[in-house]
Structures are given as structure tokens and as C-alpha cells.
Chain A
Amino acid sequence: MYIAHPPFKPRYILGLESSCDETSVAILADGERVLANLISSQIPLHSRYGGVVPEVACRAHLEVLNPLLAEALERAQIGFHDLEAVAVTCGPGLVGAVLLGVAVAKTLAGTLDIPLIGVNHMEGHLFSALLEDRCLPLPLLCLLVSGGHTLLCLVERWGEYRVLGSTRDDAAGEAFDKVSKALGLGYPGGPKIQELAQKGDPQAVRFSRPMLNEGFDFSFSGLKTAVLLHLQSPQRVSDPDLCASFQEAVVDVLATKALRAARQFGVKSLALAGGVAANKALRQRLAAGAQRLNLPFVCPQLDLCTDNAVMIAKAGWELASRGWVSPLTLDAKPNLELARSPEAGA
């Protein structure tokens, strides 16, 4: 996936992300200034695309990628020939969706004769936290939580990852969405549950915390089922109390395990990323825990928590600056894992 290349710092780098629902295109200057960050579901593309982007947009990547590219260059006020590198999500994700992004990135890299950098989607989330602080001391522990993933990852050197634990069933964000739907609150569930939880008592129902003191893997399926069963019970509490109690259980498990891992592995910094990183209770709990351990703590700004291409551009920039570049034979890897062998790259 990577070939030897002299380290370089592209002035303008293009990021492409199309691993699941969202198609996103971003342009980053000097590895830190966001010149454009377009996400298909969030901007009106009617004029260029001629239609409404569906909720599950994976089918629409093909239709929206070109208009998004044109719009991104326009917003950044640069042309194709100003781009000095292109970074693209090459996995994990839906094979068709990832393939499309990779094909577009390869075409651009080949035509413009600029380096191509394949980025692991999860690595992108990790680097999104680094837009806030580029000088975090290593080793770093990162908790990555989204609709599709929940993992604890140890970074001992940049570009090398060790996954300490992941979910055995449902991802944390998925639990939020399913509970929200069961309560009739709608999609996406994270913000809705958070809003109701603020008016509720987190101690109203004591949901069990599966595997709290056991290893670093997570399990949220049982909690989801417990909430659904509670909805049927005669002792059912109010929706705000239920949301607060559910959120408390999720946050408790995530934070307890992350902080225990931070102590056990003696890390020097802590990061939180992914869609669920937008949850205020989780941010606060981890920030407080990091403070007690005297560790610097970072998490992405709210609009960079969910899938976006800024994080891919950022990861690409950081990889390029360390001499990690991909060949034009780069392939989509739907099952790509978050790990990299130290022998490749500088």
C-alpha cells in the first residue's frame, strides 16, 4: 500500500472520502488550514447534481463526486494544477463506494502527476483530532467511536497502530441510533438522545455495563436489548430519564476502558474521534479523566467528528510528510485493518 518516497509537505492536498454513506471532498492548505470541506448530504447540490441526495447515499457517490470536486476547487479558489497531492480513503468500507473514490484519486494523481496517498478511514478519524494540536507526545491512546466502529488504539509511532480492543457486536453509535429509533426520536440518534438526556436523571435506571472491568473489547448489543426490554416494562421511566441512563452507561463503559488503557500502557496523550466524539458527556468525561492523569487531551471540532474528507487530507498530509506515499496500483481494501508494518515508509 505504500512505497518509499522522500518526505514532503504538500502546499495544497486534496482529500476524498467515500467509504460508506457520505461522499466528501476537502482541500487542506499546509496541513492545517481547511479551504474546502464538502459533504454530499449536507450541502445543496441541486443545481449541479439535479436532485436530492438520498439518506443512504452510497449509491450516489458516482453522481456527486465530480460536482463536489468542482465546487471544492471553486471554494478554495485554486485550480487542479495547484494540487500537490491527493489523499483517498482506501478502506475499510463498502467495496463499490471505496473503489470509486480510489479510481478518481488515481486518475487525478496520474493526470496531474502528483503523489497519491491511500488512507485508512479509521486513521483519518484519528488524525482529525490532530487538527487541534499537532504536537501531541507519544505514545497516544485514541478512542475511535462511530456508527460503524468502536475501537481503542495505541499509537506508539506515527503511522503504526496497535488495536487494543474493539466492539464484539454493535458499535456505540449504532446503539445510540437504535435506541433513538425505538423511542421514535429519529435519525441520527446521537444528537437526539443527548438533547433529551440533558433533561433526565442518569441514575434513573442502572443499566448493566458489560465487560466493564474485563479487557478492552466492547459490547453494546446487550445494553441496546436491555433498553428495548425496559420500554415494555411496567416500571418504564420517562424518556429523558431513559436517555440519560442509557447515555450514562455508554459513556461510562467507553471512558472507563479508555482511561484504564491509558494508565496500563503509560501513554502520554489521549484523543477521542469519530461521530460519537460529538457527544458532550463523553468529551467531558474523557477530558476530566485525562486531567486527573495529567495527560493532554484532544478531540476534533464538532463538524469534523462525522465522516469527512478533511480528516483524509490531514492524514494524507501527515503521511506524506513522513515519506509514506502509495503507488498508482493502490487498491480498494474493504476489510482494511488499522495496523501498519514498520518496514514500509520512512
Chain B
Amino acid sequence: MSEPTPQDQPQLELAPSARSWSVLTSSPQETEAWGGRLAPLLEAGDVLAFRGDLGAGKTTLVRGLARALGAKESVSSPTFVLMHIYEGRLPLYHFDAYRLHDSSDLYNIGAEEYIGTEGIACLEWSERVESLLPPQTLYLELSYLSPQEPQGRRLTFSGPSARAQALIEELRHDP
């Protein structure tokens, strides 16, 4: 088995002026609610890449997504088991690259069959498996605010593709 070469990947369709968009949340519940707002906008093949320190709220955000998609099981961290599958309106494939060294580790568990295919793929610690992310990936970065606000987080949406930009626009204008 070898990794796909960049030539295999479709050409990236760039949005005219790619931009990122940030929101602040003041509790895990608020972070989770952003997953709920994003869920109805998603389609099969969408890929969400999560970045952020331990405890920043990556799994919390995925939980909001899974719930809004109609998953009945409780969403827990896939750090050890590497992948969870949730069945809802669309299947949600929840990966975690925390314990992995690089893309080949994820490639070797067959992850490419789930990323950008018939469901929604969410990847935590996505910076470790960058080469497995398709062009349409929407990036979600979570960061801590100040020590005075231990519950507060900044959530930044970004991605150069037309698809990521369209999702960001929809989120911005979502009442």
C-alpha cells in the first residue's frame, strides 16, 4: 500500500478571496452548539479538520455535530480506538490522530475509504495527517482565551476551497 500522490488529488478550486472567520464561545455548551449549527449545512463528502490543544473542545464540537445529525450514541473521544462511526442523517466518521505519527498511520487503518466519500469525516489533530485531507476540507481551530476565562474559547473556521468558503458564508449569515 502506498499513499496517494498529489497528482491523484483533484485540482483545488480556490475561492476568489479566501477568508477565515472567528467566533468566541464562553462554555463547552456554546462550543457544542456551533457543531449543531454547522450540521444542517453539511453534505456527503465534507471533511472537517480540527486543530487545537488538549482540552480545547474538539470532541465537544464533534459531539454537537453528531447529535444534530441525529446520532443516538453518546460521542466519546476516539483517541485510543482511533475511529468512531456514528449513524445519523449522514454517517459521521470521527477520527483522532493524537497518537499517530503521520498520515501513513491513518492510511494503514483504511481511513481514506471514509474521508471525502459518502459521509462526513471529522479529524481531530488533523495537522498530523495533513496529506490525507482533501481540497474541500473545512478547518476548525479552537484556542484558549486567557487564564481568567478558563471556559472561553476562540473558534476559527477557515479553508481555501470554494466549498469551505461557502460553508463559512452560510454560518456567518445563519441567524
Q: Residues on A close to B: CB < 8 A?
A: 20, 54-56, 58-59, 92-97, 146-148, 166-171, 173-174, 177-178, 181-182, 217, 221-222, 224-225, 228-229, 232-233, 334-335
Contact = CB atoms under 8 A, between A and B. Distances in A.
Contact of B82 (A94, A182, A335): A94
A97 B74 contact: no
B54 A20 contact: no
11 contacts: A20-B80, A55-B101, A58-B82, A146-B80, A168-B74, A169-B60, A170-B76, A173-B80, A225-B150, A229-B150, A335-B85
A228 B55 contact: yes
A228 B54 contact: yes
Nearest to B78: A148
Contact of A224 (B54, B60, B81, B150): B54
For chain B, which range describes its interface: under 10, 10 to 19, 20 to 34, or 35 or more residues? 20 to 34
Contacts of B110: 95-96
A270 to B, nearest CB: 24
Given A170-B79, A228-B54, 16 more contacts: A20-B81, A55-B99, A55-B101, A56-B99, A58-B109, A59-B105, A95-B110, A147-B79, A147-B80, A148-B80, A167-B76, A169-B60, A169-B63, A225-B55, A228-B53, A228-B55
B85 to A, nearest CB: 6
Contacts of B82: 20, 56, 58, 94
B26 interface: no
B76 A171 contact: yes
Interface string B49-66: 000011100011001000
B24 interface: no
A58 B28 CA distance: 32
Tell me the interface secondary structure of chain B in the complex: loop
B150 to A, nearest CB: 5
Contact of B79 (A55, A174, A182): A174
Interface in B32-71: 53-55, 59-60, 63
A40 to B, nearest CB: 15
Interface in B67-126: 73-77, 79-83, 85, 99-101, 105, 108-110
Contacts of B54: 178, 181-182, 224-225, 228
Contact of B59 (A95, A96, A169): A169
Contacts of B100: 56
B147 interface: yes
A174 B77 contact: yes
Contacts of A55: 99, 101
Given A20-B82, A56-B99, A178-B54, A170 B147 contact: no
A96 B109 contact: yes
A232 B109 CA distance: 36
A59 B108 contact: yes
A133 to B, nearest CB: 28
A58 B108 contact: yes
Contacts of A148: 79-81
